[in-house]
């Protein structure tokens, strides 16, 4: 599922022989995949660059979840065609690859409509990139540098062997906060969603492989790991004892087995898959942060049914209550869709009521938009655009007010902040609170990667600011009741 942090991994300029530019669209899984594609290509001499015009190879790692996704890819390809022409005039060349979910869904169409594309690859085949690059280079060996007709490389298989068995260990300096894919694909088939078609059936990586990758990430500098999966809490990987482990057990094991890992998060979860073990982990594993992204999509049972969400509103409330009993200061985030086919004003009012009753620290809300090939696309009673617009505005007004109230409740409190990188101004770092809020504070570069208690002094549009000059106050989780009041 899609979720974007404001600042995904930025490619780093290096002095390796060939330059690779990866443009990442969409979710955190794509950010992870981009980093792994860079790892796979590093042994071929590719180091990353931030400027496409300098690149010997460009990968567009696409997302299919938002509207007009493929149109955006085609216009980007138009720009790349021009950049490549300039490079050719200068005597160099550029390999152009399209990866990710748009590639998976529209691979052949991309090669037909955009002959400048050398490689199209789906999310399950990027371990084969070196071979694809070799084939693309060969196909280009015609004298004029143009590809031989029909020789574009297309690899959108769902191979039986897992790419995870073929990926190298994460390389180079690692961001303080890293992603680790533990699960991929989805078997839920919500009627609005393309993920089961583009990412395929659910697959969970074995525990030993995940532990090894987590250790490599920490050895390379990570202090926080976000476990990723389109339906991450459906995780059911093979444990070291050969039995099947669920996500709660995996989280507990990572907390115990990976020295130096100070924070664990996971995303994105489905309400149906929040089991007792995972809820208990929120109470018992100190490294597991008190923040959960738990999409509900709608507050109406009628709409949830049409969406094939496989749960009712009541279940969502019950889970939230159990989670808050386990971890009273847990901050919640969610996804909402307004204007799903057949959504009435009464259904929408039920969504507003749910939001008011639960109280969210942050949330993402979208107008329903048709994804060809999904059941929702052919449903009758599509909701007019103007109605969707108006509902989205009303929903976002409530969600924004809750977010501001949640942030404002932090003023005067002391929060442990994991410093991640330099802030906008000199002498300043930015990090994250346990509740995933960005926090700016005066600090020195060497403090990146450390958790520091900060007294929160102010809130801006998207972040908090604090300092540690003030006397240290109680940590926030020792005073949970007033926090919930702030968002209730």
Q: Which is nearer to ligand 5AD, 80 or 363 (CB)?
A: 363
Interaction partner, residue 371 (ligand SF4, ligand 5AD, none; CB < 5-8 Å by kind): ligand 5AD
| Distance in Å from the first CA to the final CA of the chain | 27
Q: Which is nearer to ligand 5AD, 337 or 417 (CB)?
A: 337
Size of the site for ligand 5AD (CB under 6 A): 13
Can residue 382 be called a binding residue for ligand 5AD (CB under 6 A)? Answer: no
Contact in structure between 443 and 419 (CB atoms under 8 Å): yes
Q: Which residues of 255-268 are buried (b: 16+ CB within 10 A; e: fewer)?
A: beebeebbbbbbbb
Nearer to ligand 5AD, 2 or 76 (CB): 2
Cβ-based nearer residue to ligand SF4, 175 or 292? 292
Q: What 8-state DSSP symbol labels residue 199?
A: T
- Answer for which of 55, 117, 193, 262 binds ligand 5AD (CB under 6 A) is 193
Count other Cβ atoms within 10 Å, centred on residue 317. Answer: 16
Find out whether 236 and 186 touch, Cβ atoms under 8 Å.
no
Residue 401 Cβ, how far from ligand SF4 at the closest point, in Å?
26
Nearer to ligand 5AD, 37 or 65 (CB): 65
Cα gap 244→235, rounded to integer Å: 9
Strands 331-338 and 362-367: parallel
Give the residue, chosen from 209, 369, 396, 428, that forms a contact with ligand 5AD under the rule CB under 6 A.
Answer: 369
The nearest distance, CB 344 to ligand 5AD, in angstroms, is 18
**105 near ligand 5AD, judged by CB under 6 A:** no
Between 385-408 and 480-487, two packed helices, what is the crossing angle to 10 degrees?
150
Residues with Cβ within 8 Å of 454's Cβ and at least 6 positions away in sequence, in order, are: 414, 415, 416, 417, 439, 441, 466, 467, 468
Q: Residues in the site for ligand SF4, rule: CB under 6 A?
A: 1, 186, 188-190, 193, 195-196, 230-231, 270
Q: Which x/- pattern over 333-362 shows residues binding ligand 5AD (rule: CB under 6 A)?
A: --x-x-------------------------
Comparing C-alpha atoms, which of 186, 197, 196, 371 is closest to residue 273? 186
> Under the criterion CB under 6 A, does residue 258 sit at the interface with ligand 5AD?
no
Question: Does 197 contact ligand 5AD by CB under 6 A?
Answer: no
- Cβ closer to ligand SF4: 267 or 437? 267
In the region spanning residues 216 to 255, those forming contacts with ligand 5AD, defined by CB under 6 A, are: none
Decide: is 290 part of the binding site for ligand 5AD (CB under 6 A). no
Q: Is 316 in the site for ligand 5AD (CB under 6 A)?
A: no
Query: Would you state the structure tokens that stand for residue 329, as one six-digit string?
Result: 């200061």
User: Is residue 32 a contact residue for ligand 5AD (CB under 6 A)?
Assistant: no
Pick from 463, 439, 190, 189: nearest CA to 307: 190
For 1-79, strand residue ranges (E) read: 18-24, 46-48, 57-62
Which stretch in 45-53, 311-319, 368-376, 450-458 sits in contact with ligand 5AD by CB under 6 A? 368-376
- Looking at beta carbons only, is 339 or 449 nearer to ligand SF4? 339
* Interatomic CA distance for residues 399 and 318, integer angstroms: 21
Q: Which does 156 bind (CB under 5 to 8 A by kind): ligand 5AD, ligand SF4, none?
A: none
CA distance 270 to 290: 17
Distance CA 260, CA 178 (A): 13
Kindly give, in sequence order, each residue whose CB lies less than 8 Å from that of residue 254, ignoring residues fewer than 6 positions away: 210, 211, 214, 225, 227, 261, 264, 287
State which of residues 128, 199, 371, 413 lies at the interface with ligand 5AD (CB under 6 A).
Answer: 371
Residue 270 binds which one of ligand SF4, ligand 5AD, none, with CB within 5 to 8 A depending on kind?
Answer: ligand SF4
Is residue 20 near ligand 5AD by the rule CB under 6 A? no
Contact of residue 231 among ligand 5AD, ligand SF4, none (CB under 5-8 Å per partner type)? ligand SF4
- On whether the CB atoms of residues 262 and 451 are closer than 8 A, the answer is yes
Q: What is the DSSP string of 324-367?
A: HHHSTT-EEEEEEEES-TT--HHHHHHHHHHHHHH--SEEEEEE
Q: Binding residue for ligand 5AD (CB under 6 A) from 235, 348, 360, 366?
A: 366
CB of 391 to ligand 5AD, least distance (A): 13
Map the footprint of ligand 5AD across residues 48-67, applying CB under 6 A.
65
- The residue ranges that bind ligand 5AD (CB under 6 A) are 1-2, 65, 192-193, 295, 297, 335, 337, 366, 368-369, 371
């Amino acid at each position: 599922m899609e979720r974007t942090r404001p600042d995904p991994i930025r490619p780093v300029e290096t002095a390796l022989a060939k330059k690779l530019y990866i443009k990442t669209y969409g979710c955190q899984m794509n950010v992870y995949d981009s980093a792994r594609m860079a790892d796979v290509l590093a042994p071929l001499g590719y180091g990353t660059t931030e400027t496409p015009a300098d690149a010997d190879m460009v990968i567009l790692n696409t997302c299919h979840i938002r509207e007009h996704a493929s149109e955006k890819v085609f216009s980007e390809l138009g720009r790349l065609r021009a950049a490549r022409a300039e490079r050719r005039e200068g005597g160099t060349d550029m390999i152009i690859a399209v990866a990710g979910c748009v590639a998976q869904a529209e691979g052949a169409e991309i090669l037909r409509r955009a002959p400048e594309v050398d490689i199209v690859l789906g999310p399950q085949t990027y371990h084969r990139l070196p071979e694809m690059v070799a084939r693309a280079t060969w196909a280009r060996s015609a004298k004029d540098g143009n590809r031989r007709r029909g020789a574009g490389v297309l690899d959108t298989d769902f191979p039986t062997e897992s790419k995870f068995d073929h990926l190298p260990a994460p390389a180079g300096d690692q961001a303080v906060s890293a992603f680790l894919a533990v699960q991929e694909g989805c078997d839920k088939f919500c009627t609005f969603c393309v993920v089961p078609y583009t990412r395929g059936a659910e697959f969970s990586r074995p525990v030993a492989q995940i532990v090894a990758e987590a250790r490599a990430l920490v050895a390379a500098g990570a202090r926080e790991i976000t476990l990723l999966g389109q339906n991450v809490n459906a995780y059911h990987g093979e444990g070291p004892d050969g039995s099947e482990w669920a996500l709660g057990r995996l989280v507990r094991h990572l907390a115990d087995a990976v020295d130096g890992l100070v924070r664990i998060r996971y995303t994105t979860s489905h309400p149906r898959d929040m089991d007792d073990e995972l809820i208990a982990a929120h109470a018992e594993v100190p490294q597991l942060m008190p923040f959960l992204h738990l999409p509900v999509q709608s507050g109406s049972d009628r709409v949830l049914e049409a969406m094939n969400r496989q749960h009712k509103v009541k279940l969502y409330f019950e889970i939230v209550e159990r989670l808050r009993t386990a971890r009273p200061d847990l901050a919640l985030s969610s996804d909402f869709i307004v204007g799903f086919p057949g959504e009435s004003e009464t259904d929408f009012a039920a969504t507003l009521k749910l939001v008011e009753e639960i109280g969210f620290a942050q949330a993402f809300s979208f107008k329903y938009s048709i994804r060809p090939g999904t059941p929702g696309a052919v449903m009758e009673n599509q909701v007019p655009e103007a109605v969707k617009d108006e509902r989205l505005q009303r929903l976002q007004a409530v969600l924004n007010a809750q977010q501001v109230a949640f942030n404002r409740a932090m003023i005067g409190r002391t929060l442990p902040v994991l410093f991640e990188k330099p802030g906008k101004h000199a002498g300043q770092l930015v990090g994250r609170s346990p509740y995933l809020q960005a926090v700016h504070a005066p600090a020195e570069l060497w403090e990146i990667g450390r958790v520091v208690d900060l007294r929160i002094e102010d809130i801006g549009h998207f972040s908090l600011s604090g300092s540690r000059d003030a006397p240290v106050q109680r940590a926030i989780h020792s005073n949970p009741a007033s926090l919930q009041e702030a968002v209730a």
